[in-house]
């Protein structure tokens, strides 16, 4: 029987998103608010790229839910010697109950690791999308504002895998308005932007993109930024930092919207995408957001267990 994995937020219906977000908020308030639904199960953890928050969140989350983690390093599997992801997944499906994967590869590889859908695979960040981050972000914003109808979010920086997940998450929230301000040539992929804009429009919200932060007008309730050098990626243009400097978030930027909160998916490079004054300031939700990832990992694992 095929079992649900989490490859992309585009795969989830609105009900699944609501359930996971609701459970994330519940588990954020009380990490013991469950009956150990993964008791006796084996949870594979395959991280081929560096990770602090996500790896720790899923490993500890699996333990809290009763599972036994089985960890794999970047060079541990025979995929490094030429075995296909499909063949690897076929075998892992007979030995594991869930597999959490971080990779610099495409989502397609994660689907192949599912052993034909027999093994639930969780995308803990791929080159294209970081869906568990998007769910944790949605839970953080919902927890803070109580609801997202009428909330306006401004994202400043690269249209990376975090931004893709954020666009897909926020576009499904009725009445939520999001602006992605990205350096020219570093925006969201056109198909993602078009789909998110269409989804938001159906719910009375909006998703738009611009390449000039100074041109953003009107109220903003939350400013989101992400580090400029995404894990596992590089930029071809040697002078890319010049294009990104106008997107730095400091006290002057937040001063345009005095009531706005700051979000950051971490890790942060103080002095690049954000100032230390802002990241550690009273308006910052970055550390709540990081703690929400622990509850979010538990909610996702619980969801894959049915």
Q: Does some domain include residue 4?
A: no
In a domain, 2, yes or no: no
> Which CATH number do you get for residue 118?
3.40.50.1370
Query: What is the per-residue burial (b if ≥16 Cβ within 10 Å, else e) of 155-178?
Result: bbbbbbbbbbbbbbbbbbbeebbb
What does the pLDDT read at residue 234?
77
List CB contacts of 251: < 8 A, sequence separation 6 or more: 275, 277, 278, 281
**Domain co-membership, 205 together with 300:** no
**Half-sphere exposure for 16 (CA within 13 Å, toward CB):** 18
Please tell me whether residues 190 and 100 are part of one structural domain: no
Residue 16: inside a domain = yes
Same domain, 88 and 144: no
On whether both 74 and 220 belong to a single domain, the answer is no
Kindly state whether residues 158 and 285 are assigned to the same domain: yes
- 67 and 158 together in one domain: no
Contact present, 62 and 124 (Cβ < 8 Å): no
Domain membership flag for residue 207:
yes
Q: Is 171 helix (H, G, I), strand (E, B) or coil?
A: coil
Within this chain, do residues 282 and 157 fall inside the same structural domain, yes or no?
yes
Is 283 found in the same domain as 168?
yes
User: Are 109 and 82 within one domain?
Assistant: yes
Kindly compute the dihedral angle of the four CA atoms of residues 117, 297, 134, 182, in this order, to the nearest 10 degrees: -110
pLDDT in tens, 89-114: 999 999 999 999 999 999 999 999 99
Domain assignment present for residue 3? The answer is no
Q: What is the pLDDT of residue 1?
A: 52
The sign one gets for the Cα dihedral 119, 85, 129, 10 is negative
What's the number of domains the chain is made of? 2
The low-confidence residues of the chain, meaning pLDDT below 70, are 1-3, 231-233
Q: What does the pLDDT read at residue 179?
A: 98
Residue 88 lies in a domain: yes
Q: What is the pLDDT of residue 123?
A: 98
Per-residue confidence (pLDDT) for residue 291, from 0 to 100 = 97
Residues 70 and 209 in one domain: no
Which residue segment(s) compose the domain that 153 sits in? 131-290
Residue 279 lies in a domain: yes
| Residue pLDDT, tens place only, 276-300 | 999 999 999 999 999 999 999 999 9
Q: Are both 255 and 139 inside the same structural domain? A: yes
What count of Cα atoms within 13 Å lies in the side-chain half-sphere of residue 259? 8
Are both 111 and 212 inside the same structural domain? no
Determine the pLDDT at residue 233.
67
């Amino acid at each position: 029987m095929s079992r649900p994995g989490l490859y992309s937020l585009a795969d989830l219906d609105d009900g699944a998103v609501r359930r996971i977000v609701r459970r994330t908020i519940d588990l954020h308030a009380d990490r013991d608010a469950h009956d150990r639904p993964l008791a006796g199960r084996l949870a594979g953890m395959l991280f081929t790229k560096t990770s602090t928050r996500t790896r720790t969140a899923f490993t500890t989350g699996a333990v809290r839910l009763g599972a036994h983690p089985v960890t794999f390093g970047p060079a541990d599997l025979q995929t490094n010697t030429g075995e296909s992801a499909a063949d690897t997944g076929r075998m892992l499906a007979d030995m594991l109950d869930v597999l959490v994967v971080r990779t610099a590869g495409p989502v397609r590889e994660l689907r192949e690791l599912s052993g034909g859908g027999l093994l639930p695979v969780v995308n803990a960040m791929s080159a294209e999308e970081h869906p568990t981050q998007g769910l944790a972000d949605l839970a953080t914003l919902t927890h803070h504002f109580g609801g997202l109808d009428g909330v306006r979010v401004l994202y400043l920086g690269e249209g990376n895998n975090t931004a893709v997940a954020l666009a897909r998450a926020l576009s499904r929230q009725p009445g939520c308005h999001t602006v992605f301000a990205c350096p020219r040539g570093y925006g969201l992929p056109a198909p993602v932007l078009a789909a998110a804009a269409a989804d938001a429009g159906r719910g009375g919200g909006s998703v738009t993109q611009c390449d000039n932060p100074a041109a953003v007008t009107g109220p903003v309730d939350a400013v989101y930024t992400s580090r400029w050098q995404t894990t596992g990626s590089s930029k071809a243009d040697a002078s890319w930092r010049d294009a990104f400097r106008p997107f730095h978030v400091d006290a002057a930027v937040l001063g345009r919207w005095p009531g706005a909160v700051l979000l950051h998916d971490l890790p942060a490079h103080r002095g690049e995408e954000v100032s230390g004054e802002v990241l550690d300031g009273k308006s910052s939700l970055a550390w709540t957001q990081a703690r929400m990832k622990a509850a979010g990992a538990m909610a996702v694992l619980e969801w894959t267990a049915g």
